[in-house]
Structure 1
């Protein structure tokens, strides 16, 4: 089944009608305690993964400047994640490990949990609660 055949994935051009009205806006980054928290919203796919990558890189600068000691991706508002999103998370994790820190996941939806399990990536991302 192609992307355009799936009822939950409308045609790709500009994708203004994403489920729940989520347009994949750039994830916010904030400092909570000693964690740089990234909060992606909506779908993380080939169109939106670059903004997640930029937000995770921005969070890593907080760690580098000692304003935080770890990164947490709060996935509570993520409705879908494909391999592009997973690649963004894995690439950011590699950068975090090189910088001596971690990226944890908070509140991953069942779909994201299945993706992590199926690909063997689940152990790479400890569960966190950004509070």
Structure 2
């Protein structure tokens, strides 16, 4: 085995589920959000914005890890959505992911919710 190459079989992958609502979307990334996988989430979020979905909830309950690349994807989307008059809410963060937001101060710029139901209830009605 070549130790210089990452073990692709064992490296956790990211899956992104997109559920569209009337004028928004619930995005659920599952797995590890890092420099290897961030583009998958970016594409899903960009498509939501392109479709005019400006009320976005990102359900982080299945997100196991987030590095600075993943954080940048979320921050960039937040800026684009808010510029268009929308909102991005984050829900259900696991402690290790929440810690990244706490350390970087990014938690102060997002609306955070304990769970998905709370986040959905906080969004304005269509």
TM range (shorter): 0.7 to 0.9
> Residues 32 and 130 of structure 1 are in contact (CA less than 8 Å); yes or no, is this contact kept in structure 2?
no
Task: List, as ranges, runs of 4+ consecutive aligned residues in structure 1 with deviation greater than 6 Å.
Answer: none
2:43 is matched with 54
Query: Where does 1:1-131 land on structure 2 (aligned, <5 Å)?
Result: 13=6, 15-18=8-11, 22-25=12-15, 27-32=16-21, 34-62=23-51, 64=52, 68-128=53-113, 129-131=115-117
CA RMSD, Structure 1 to Structure 2 (Å): 2.2
TM-score (norm: length of structure 1): 0.76
Q: Give the structure with the larger strand fraction.
A: 2
The alignment covers a number of residue pairs equal to 114
Q: Where does the alignment leave 5 or more consecutive residues of structure 1 unmatched?
A: 1-10
> Hey, what's the Cα distance between the residues in 1 that align with 2:87 and 2:63?
20
1:61 CA displacement: 3.0
Instruction: Report Cα offsets for 1:40-98 as digits up to 9, x if no partner.
Output: 01000001111111111122234x2xxx5510111111111111110110111111111
> Hey, what's the Cα distance between the residues in 2 that align with 1:57 and 1:98?
14
